[in-house]
DNA sequence: ACACAGGCCGAAT
DNA sequence: ATTCGGCCTGTG
C-alpha cells in the first residue's frame, strides 16, 4: 500500500503512521484505508453507498496483475525492477483533480506539487469531518472557474497559474466530446489533451493514464529517460549512456515509443514500476 | 551563489 | 520534425 500511495502517482493521500493507514478524498468522499495484514485492507468512508464498486474501480482490481507481471518481465533488468516494485498498484484517479495535479507537476517537485494542491483544497474545497479528523475535498471545476489567475500565482504556482486558469475554461472542450473514447480513440484523445495550453506530451500521458485509464500510455520524465537511455538504447557509446543530463540521449518522444513497443498494453504499469524502482533504488542506474 | 525539480512554449534550425 | 533558451518558485 505504501508503494501505491508514495510513488507519486496520486498526491492527496496521506499517512500519519508510516504507511499503516492512509486517508484521502475523492470528490466528496473521504476514504480511510487500513492495512489489516499482508493481503487485506479495511476501508471506511463517510459515504458507504456503493463503496465496494467505487473501490474496485479506484484500485483497478480487474486488471490481471499476475499476467501483467509476466508480460513486463522481459529481461534481467525488468526482473530486478519488479523485485523492488511488485505490489504497487495503479490508481484510477478522478480526472479533473488528476489533470490539475499533473499540470502543476511540470518542472516542479513532489512536495511542492502537494503543497499547491493543498492550497486549492484548503481555500476552495469543502470541509468534512470524519474519524475525528478534518478533511478538505478537492474543489470542482465550478468552484475554481471564478478564481482569478492572480490568486493562483499568490499560491506560488508561478507560470503554471496561467495554465491552470486556461485549463479551467478549456476543460469541457475535450471532456464533453463524448464521441471520443479515451481508450478506443486513444491517439485522438491524447492529441486533444496536448492542444491545451500548458499540456505537453508528458503531462498528457499522465492525465491519460491516471485519469482516463489508458494503460497503453508510457509517460517519459527525466527519470524514465535516464533509465531507458541506459538500458534500451544500446547503440549509444558508454560515454553517452552514462550522460545524465536531461538534454542528452534519445528524445522523450522516442523513449515513449520504445516503452510502448516493449511493454504494449501494460506500458503504464511498466512505467510506474520503473519510476518507483529507480527513485527508491538509484543504484539501479549504475548497475550493468 | 547556483543547480535542479516527474516540462512546456515559442522561435530557430 | 527536432533542438534549444527561458521560465516561476522553493529547496539544498
Who's near A180: CB < 8 A, 6+ residues apart?
A174, A188, A189, A192
pLDDT tens digits for range A195-232: 999 999 999 999 999 999 999 999 999 999 999 999 99
Report CA(A78)–C1'(B8) in Å, whole number: 30
pTM higher than the cut 0.85 = yes
Q: Give CA–CA dist A278/A144, Å, rounded.
A: 36
Report CA(A59)–C1'(C3) in Å, whole number: 40
Report CA(A249)–C1'(C3) in Å, whole number: 12
Within 7 Å: CB of A39 and strand C? no
Which protein residues have their Cβ less than 7 angstroms from some atom of strand B?
A: A 7-9, 105-110, 112, 159, 194, 196-204, 206, 219, 221-224, 246, 252, 271-272, 275
Report CA(A207)–C1'(C3) in Å, whole number: 26
Average pLDDT, chain A: 93
Within 7 Å: CB of A157 and strand C? yes
Higher pLDDT, A237 or A200: A200
Q: Which segment of A15-29, A46-60, A186-200, A274-288 scores lowest on mean pLDDT?
A: A274-288
Q: Give CA–CA dist A181/A227, Å, rounded.
A: 31
Report CA(A149)–C1'(B10) in Å, whole number: 22
Q: Give CA–CA dist A282/A228, Å, rounded.
A: 14
Within 7 Å: CB of A60 and strand C? no
Burial class for A14, CB neighbours closer than 10 Å (0-12, 13-18, 19+): middle
Nearest protein residue by Cα to C1' of nucleotide C3: A247
DSSP A210: I
Q: Give CA–CA dist A217/A248, Å, rounded.
A: 23
Provide the grid cell at A95.
Answer: 480526472
**Is pLDDT of A118 > 90?**
yes
Which single residue is written with the C-alpha cell 466528496? A28
Residues 192-251 of A with CB under 7 A from strand C: 247, 251
Amino acid at each position: 500500500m505504501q508503494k501505491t500511495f508514495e510513488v507519486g502517482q496520486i498526491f492527496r493521500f496521506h499517512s500519519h503512521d508510516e504507511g499503516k493507514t492512509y486517508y484521502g478524498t475523492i470528490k466528496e468522499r473521504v476514504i480511510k484505508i487500513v492495512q489489516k495484514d499482508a493481503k487485506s485492507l479495511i476501508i471506511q468512508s463517510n459515504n458507504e453507498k456503493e463503496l465496494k464498486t467505487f473501490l474496485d474501480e479506484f484500485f483497478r482490481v480487474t486488471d490481471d496483475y499476475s499476467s501483467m507481471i509476466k508480460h513486463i518481465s522481459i529481461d534481467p533488468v525488468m526482473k530486478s525492477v519488479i523485485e523492488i516494485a511488485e505490489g504497487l498498484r495503479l490508481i484510477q484517479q478522478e480526472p479533473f483533480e488528476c489533470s490539475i495535479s499533473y499540470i502543476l507537476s511540470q518542472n516542479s517537485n513532489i512536495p511542492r506539487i502537494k503543497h499547491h494542491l493543498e492550497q486549492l483544497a484548503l481555500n476552495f474545497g469543502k470541509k468534512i469531518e470524519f474519524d475525528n479528523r478534518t478533511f478538505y475535498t478537492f474543489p470542482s471545476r465550478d468552484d475554481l472557474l471564478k478564481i482569478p489567475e492572480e490568486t493562483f500565482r499568490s499560491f506560488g504556482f508561478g507560470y503554471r497559474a496561467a495554465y491552470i486558469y486556461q485549463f479551467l475554461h478549456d476543460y469541457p472542450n475535450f471532456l464533453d466530446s463524448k464521441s471520443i473514447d479515451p481508450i478506443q480513440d486513444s491517439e485522438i484523445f491524447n492529441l486533444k489533451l496536448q492542444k491545451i495550453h500548458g499540456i505537453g506530451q508528458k503531462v498528457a500521458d499522465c492525465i491519460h493514464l491516471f485519469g482516463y485509464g489508458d494503460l497503453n500510455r508510457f509517460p517519459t520524465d527525466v527519470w524514465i529517460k535516464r533509465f531507458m537511455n541506459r538500458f534500451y538504447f544500446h547503440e549509444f557509446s558508454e560515454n553517452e549512456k552514462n550522460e545524465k543530463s536531461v538534454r542528452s540521449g534519445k528524445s522523450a518522444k522516442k523513449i515513449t515509443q520504445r516503452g510502448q513497443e516493449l511493454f504494449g498494453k501494460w506500458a503504464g504499469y511498466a512505467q510506474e514500476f520503473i519510476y518507483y524502482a529507480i527513485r527508491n533504488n538509484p543504484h539501479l542506474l549504475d548497475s550493468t
